[in-house]
Amino acid sequence: MGLINQNSRLGVILIVSGPSGTGKTTVCTRVREEMPELKFSVSCTTRAPRAGEQHGKDYYFLSREEFKRRIDNGEFIEYAEVFSNYYGTLKSEVIDRVKCGEDVFLDIDIQGAMQIRQCSQQDPLLGNCCEFIFIAPPSLEELEARLRNRASDSEEQIMQRLGKSKLEISYWKHYDYLVINDMLDAAVEDMKSLIRMTRKATKRLEEGLFNV
Ligand code: ADP
Ligand code: 5GP
């Protein structure tokens, strides 16, 4: 018999946020390709799909009525209204997976992350499993350039997103880790190293890990 019992570890819940346009989706997509064992939490949203987005892969696209029904049913770990649409994380995307030792990645806004942060103070599973990562742009000028280059939002939406970004950046101190997305490859490497490191935390290891 080996010294270590396999499957004696809870998964990590990696909660990633940062201002819109920072490059969260881009960084997370690369991490997803390069760490295929990571599970991504597919969020619910009431916003319309963008070109190429698929229901069940990028988001679960719901009507406002359906979203509210799920709120009333207690199906979300967190939800928030972001830019006039609801977004939320389903318990079913996260809880059973981490109990089985799978690592789950959440790309959610700061309000949602702070809700989970608060719950994790009372809930031992969330308290042990959550790691909060903030992604920041190298400058506000670069953030604006990225929002414009993405060409997915109207001028009004771009101004709305930029207007929120200064306050959002000030939240970095409520997170456990900070990744600056300046050069994409370096940010992806930082994120991967950080994920590997969180897997070594003893607080998620269970009694009976060692066969001694
Ligand atoms: P978010 O998900 O944070 O709103 P996106 O991933 O949609 O941001 O990225 C916004 C835009 O910035 C996209 O056009 C993307 O290609 C670009 N981008 C992302 N990361 C970088 C980077 N490190 N350098 C330059 N452009 C980037
Ligand atoms: P987008 O519409 O550009 O895909 O996302 C807009 C914002 O909503 C991003 O900041 C993204 O992180 C956030 N978001 C996506 N899913 C969720 C979620 O489940 N909960 C919360 N609170 N925010 C989310």
**pLDDT tens, position by position, 182-196:** 999 999 999 999 999
Q: List, for the chain, all residue ranges whose pLDDT scores fall below the cut of 50.
A: none
Instruction: Give me ligand 1 centre to Cα 187, in Å.
Output: 11
Do the beta carbons of residue 114 and residue 104 sit within 8 Å?
Answer: no
Helices 155-169 and 140-150, axial angle in degrees (round to 10): 150
Cβ–ligand 1 distance for 25 under 6 Å, the answer yes
Task: Please report where in the chains the tokens 């770990």 appear, as a residue.
Answer: 77
Q: Which residue has the tokens 């049913």?
A: 73
Going edge to edge, which strands form the sheet with 85-90?
A: 60-61, 44-45, 85-90, 76-82
CATH code given to domain 13-41+102-204: 3.40.50.300
Residue found under tokens 């570890």: 9
Q: What number of residues does the chain have?
A: 212
Domain boundaries, given as residue ranges, for the chain = 13-41+102-204
**Whether the Cβ atoms of residue 62 and residue 69 lie closer than 8 Å to each other:** no
Between the CA of 21 and the centroid of ligand 1 the distance, in Å, is: 6
Among 73, 70, 104, 103, which residue's Cα sits nearest to residue 87? 70
| 152 ligand 1 Cβ < 6 A | no
Closest by CA position to 95, among listed 115, 70, 114, 78: 78
User: What pLDDT, on the 0 to 100 scale, is given for residue 210?
Assistant: 77
Tally: H helices and E strands in the chain: 8, 9
**What's the gap in Å between 210 CA and the centre of ligand 2?**
40
| Alpha-carbon Rg for the chain in angstroms | 18
Residue 209: per-residue pLDDT:
72
CA–CA separation, 79 and 116 (whole Å): 10
Find the ligand nearest to 150 CA. 1
CA dihedral 199, 106, 95, 193 (to 10 degrees): 0
Question: What pTM did the predictor assign?
Answer: 0.93
Report which residue type is found at 45.
T
